[in-house]
């Protein structure tokens, strides 16, 4: 194999990583879909590019976002408060998360039942990892605390 051919092969192999492109699987998803913030800080911009103004700066790892549109590595997202803007896809994860919403504390139960043992009371704004949802209840983990929360109290559960 000639040196030129080897260099061309290596360039083709590593080019997506050099420019910060999102993995192919993330690029090919059908919208809308759920994603979560995978870094400690991320900018939401008013347009799909680094030259656009920053509308919001998120400091909330695992915050769920609804992805509405894709454009050249950027994602048009909606946050739990309804704000929309563009985030670079490499800062998002496909790992499902949710945020407690509504008034008053949400109950985290030992099983998916209102009669099950109460484990924790979760304040609105608590973010955690979302598991399977069934019959109106979702498996939800906040740090080491694992239980079930009513799906209607979680933004990020259900269909995007």
In angstroms, the CA 129 to CA 53 distance is 30
104-147-60 Cα angle (round to 5): 65
- pLDDT the model gives residue 28: 63
How many CB atoms are located within 10 Å of the residue 51 CB?
A: 6
Which tens digits make up the pLDDT trace of 115-133? 999 999 999 999 999 999 9
Which tens digits make up the pLDDT trace of 20-60? 444 434 456 899 999 999 999 999 999 999 999 999 999 99
Which domains does the chain show, CATH number per domain? Answer: 21-95 (2.30.30.40), 98-155 (2.30.30.40)
| Token couple for 69 | 């549109």
In angstroms, the CA 19 to CA 78 distance is 25
């Amino acid at each position: 194999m000639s040196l030129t051919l080897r260099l061309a092969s290596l360039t083709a192999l590593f080019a997506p990583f050099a420019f910060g492109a999102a993995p192919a699987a993330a690029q090919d998803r059908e919208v809308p879909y759920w994603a979560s913030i995978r870094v400690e800080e991320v900018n939401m911009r008013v347009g799909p590019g680094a030259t656009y103004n920053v509308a919001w700066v998120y400091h909330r790892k695992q915050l769920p976002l609804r992805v509405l549109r894709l454009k050249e590595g950027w994602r048009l997202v909606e946050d739990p408060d309804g704000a929309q803007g563009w985030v670079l896809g490499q800062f998002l994860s496909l790992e499902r998360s949710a945020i407690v919403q509504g008034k008053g504390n949400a109950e985290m139960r030992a099983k998916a039942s209102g009669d099950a043992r109460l484990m924790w009371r979760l304040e609105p704004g608590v973010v955690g990892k979302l598991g399977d949802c069934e019959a109106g209840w979702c498996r939800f983990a906040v740090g080491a605390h694992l239980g079930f929360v009513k799906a209607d109290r979680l933004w990020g559960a259900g269909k995007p």
